[in-house]
């Protein structure tokens, strides 16, 4: 039996070699356009050029996809914060740089900024391996960058150590 007779319509099944990544990239684009509300699994599948049922083989639901978009958005924000912080060694200027990067990201990428803080990273992290965390540029969290800068500012005497929660 030939493949043509097995598929009477003569259509070939579409196979997307990197569908997981393509769905995430499509969803990031959707979030840039309209924030987390714009991220819809069916629309991401359409943009990736596959059926919506194919998308469900990679993501259980919209929340699972949005978790990935959120992780990516936080990674972009953290990278921008780190890039600006690394321009100076002065603790006061580093503290200012981290704040300005946060505000600029919110102003220039409002959809992605909203998506960054939509998902709960604590529930998403249980599905990630430590090796993936170490290799991924999205692994950093803005909170980690801010925490490092605040610790440096405290060590430089700019912040009162008695006012830091948990110290």
Q: Would you state the structure tokens that stand for residue 80, as one six-digit string? A: 């921008």
139 pLDDT tier (thresholds 50, 70, 90):
low
Note the pLDDT tens digit of each residue in 81-106.
Answer: 999 999 999 999 999 999 999 999 99
Which pTM value belongs to this model? Answer: 0.77
CA proximity to 75, closest of 121, 9, 39, 122: 121
Note the pLDDT tens digit of each residue in 8-49.
Answer: 444 343 456 799 999 999 999 999 999 999 999 999 999 999
- Compute the Cα dihedral for 144, 142, 117, 22 and give only its sign: negative
- Residue 167 makes CB contacts below 8 A (sequence gap 6+) with 161
Note the pLDDT tens digit of each residue in 59-78.
Answer: 999 999 999 999 999 999 99
Q: Would you state the structure tokens that stand for residue 153, as one six-digit string? A: 């500012």
């Amino acid at each position: 039996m030939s493949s043509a007779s097995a598929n009477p319509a003569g259509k070939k099944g579409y196979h997307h070699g990197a569908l997981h990544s393509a769905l995430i990239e499509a969803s990031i684009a959707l979030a840039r356009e309209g924030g987390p509300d714009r991220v819809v699994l069916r629309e991401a599948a359409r943009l990736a050029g596959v059926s919506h049922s194919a998308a469900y083989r990679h993501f259980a639901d919209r929340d699972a996809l949005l978790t990935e978009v959120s992780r990516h958005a936080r990674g972009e924000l953290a990278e921008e914060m780190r890039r600006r912080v690394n321009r100076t060694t002065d603790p006061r200027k580093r503290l200012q740089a981290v704040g300005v990067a946060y505000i600029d990201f919110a102003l220039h990428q409002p959809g992605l900024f909203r998506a960054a803080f939509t998902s709960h990273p604590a529930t998403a992290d249980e599905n990630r391996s430590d090796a993936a965390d170490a290799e991924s540029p999205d692994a950093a969290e803005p909170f980690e960058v801010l925490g490092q800068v605040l610790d440096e500012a405290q060590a430089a005497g700019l912040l009162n150590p008695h006012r830091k929660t948990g110290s």
